[in-house]
């Protein structure tokens, strides 16, 4: 076989193999750990630990009121909310103050200079958190009334638990890119987290909704400002200290996904850059055999980035050779039987995800029509962001990598996820 044939088979077999693994392990997780997990309040304990919810904000005037409103009605006996306004230049702080005046458990911490999300959280962690559990949510995340209990309950059962990540559901589903992401969050991200829990370790918590044991968060030094994705980094720091990270699908959080191609590109570039930072900053796991349980997750991440390079450069070579030399080399992006097979695998995977998430999102099945486009559009887009960010990710300075600019928000409409 030629090198191009090998690359072609890899480009085809890798996503197919991962789809099979995610689907089968996701079903196993649901069968053993999810389907019998009752939602009846009678199972809740009588006493709950105090919780601090941290909400970092930077120019969030469009969405912050909806977040504040939802946080007023959590079904939890003892919680406080600390909004960290990271030098916003809009009306974010003014909107928050209205809610602080009405809710004695709401507090506003204003920073005069932009610190970046990680530093803003660290400041709040050091001066405003005295509870045993710390929950971090994004400024456009809507928690359901029972979400906080589902995030906290596992900490009462497992003393070696360092973090619990929730189940983000994308609720804006009007245009094509929004529908594709709604399918992605459940059929890709949700199944990946289920399968990683079966295999032992989680690649990353969902930064939009995650709970931490506060003493563990402080033990690992808090959040790192030297990465584009502080949620990935904190997950690895916690697991390198031999604490567990769990995924609890019942802890539903409603989120907004990027509504435009431009915002989507910016988000995925940041995710891809954070992946490069992960590979750089946590390669030290191979220095100790004690961290061997993290090897499979690391290698899978490497294989995913290798796939991106094979896809992008193989397709680019095919295009150049076809146009200028009339003798195609590389990897053809035109779907053939393998494209059809990947589409079928995607539909099966999405169907399983829709079934597993039915209790949390009963309208997810409406996105099934768009799943075949996922492999054509989002996989290709993801591969491009990996290649695009490689120079900066591998060789760029990590100083200031955590500086942030909130994506463009829209007002959260009443979500339709319960049917």
Residues in the chain: 419
Q: How many CB atoms lie within 10 A of CB 75?
A: 12
Cα–Cα distance between 236 and 338 in angstroms, integer?
35
**Digits of tens for pLDDT over the chain (419 positions)?**
677 778 888 888 898 899 899 999 999 999 988 877 655 556 788 899 999 999 999 999 999 999 999 999 999 999 999 999 999 999 999 999 999 999 999 999 999 888 889 999 999 999 989 999 999 999 999 999 999 999 999 999 999 999 999 999 988 888 888 888 887 777 778 888 999 888 878 999 998 999 999 999 999 999 999 998 999 999 999 999 999 999 999 999 999 888 898 999 999 999 999 999 999 999 999 999 999 999 999 999 999 999 999 989 888 887 888 877 777 776 766 666 677 787 788 788 888 888 888 888 888 777 777 776 766 677 788 899 999 999 999 999 887 766 656 556 556 555 555 55
Q: In this structure, which topology does domain 50-259 adopt according to CATH?
A: Spore Coat Polysaccharide Biosynthesis Protein SpsA; Chain A (3.90.550)
Q: Which residues contact 381 (CB under 8 A, 6 or more apart)?
A: 264, 265, 268
Cα–Cα distance between 154 and 84 in angstroms, integer?
27
**Is the Cα dihedral 347, 353, 358, 363 positive or negative?**
negative
**357: nearest Cα among 155, 187, 212, 195:** 187
Q: What is the pTM of this model?
A: 0.91
Domain boundaries, the chain: 3-23+292-395, 50-259
């Amino acid at each position: 076989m030629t090198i191009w044939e090998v690359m072609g088979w890899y480009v085809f077999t890798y996503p197919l193999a991962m789809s099979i693994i995610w689907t089968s392990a996701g079903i196993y997780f649901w069968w053993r750990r999810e389907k019998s997990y009752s939602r009846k309040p009678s199972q809740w304990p009588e006493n709950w630990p105090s919780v601090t919810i941290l909400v970092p904000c930077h120019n969030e005037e469009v969405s912050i009121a909806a977040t504040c409103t939802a946080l007023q009605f959590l079904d939890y006996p003892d919680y406080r909310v600390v909004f960290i306004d990271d030098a916003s230049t809009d009306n974010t702080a003014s909107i928050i103050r209205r809610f602080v005046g009405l809710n004695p458990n709401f507090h506003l911490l204003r920073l005069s200079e932009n610190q970046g999300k990680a530093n803003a959280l660290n400041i709040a962690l050091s001066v405003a958190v005295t509870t045993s559990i710390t929950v971090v949510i994004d400024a456009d995340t809507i928690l359901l009334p029972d979400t906080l209990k589902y995030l906290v309950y596992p900490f009462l059962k497992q003393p070696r638990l360092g973090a619990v990540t929730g189940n983000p559901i994308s609720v804006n589903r009007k245009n094509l890119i929004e529908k594709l992401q709604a399918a992605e969050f459940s059929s890709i991200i949700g199944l990946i987290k289920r399968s990683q829990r079966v295999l032992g370790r989680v690649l990353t918590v969902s930064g939009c909704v995650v709970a931490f044991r506060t003493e563990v968060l402080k033990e690992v030094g808090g959040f790192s400002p030297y990465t584009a994705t502080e949620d990935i980094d904190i997950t690895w720091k916690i697991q390198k200290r031999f604490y567990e990270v769990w995924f609890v699908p019942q802890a539903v959080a409603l989120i907004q996904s990027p509504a435009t191609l431009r915002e989507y590109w910016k988000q995925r570039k940041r995710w891809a850059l954070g992946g490069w930072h992960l590979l750089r900053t946590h390669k030290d796991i191979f220095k100790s055999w004690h961290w061997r349980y993290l090897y499979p997750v690391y290698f899978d991440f490497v294989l995913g980035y290798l796939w991106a390079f094979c896809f992008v450069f193989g397709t680019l070579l095919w295009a150049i050779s076809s146009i200028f030399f009339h003798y195609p080399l590389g990897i053809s992006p035109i779907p053939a039987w393998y494209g059809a097979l990947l589409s079928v695998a995607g539909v099966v995977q999405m169907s399983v995800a829709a079934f597993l998430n039915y209790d949390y999102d009963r309208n997810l099945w409406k996105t099934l029509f768009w799943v075949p486009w996922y492999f054509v559009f989002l996989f290709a887009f993801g591969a491009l962001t990996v290649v695009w960010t490689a120079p900066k990710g591998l060789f760029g300075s990590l100083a200031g990598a955590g500086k942030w600019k909130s994506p463009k928000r829209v007002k959260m409409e009443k979500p339709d996820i319960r049917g």
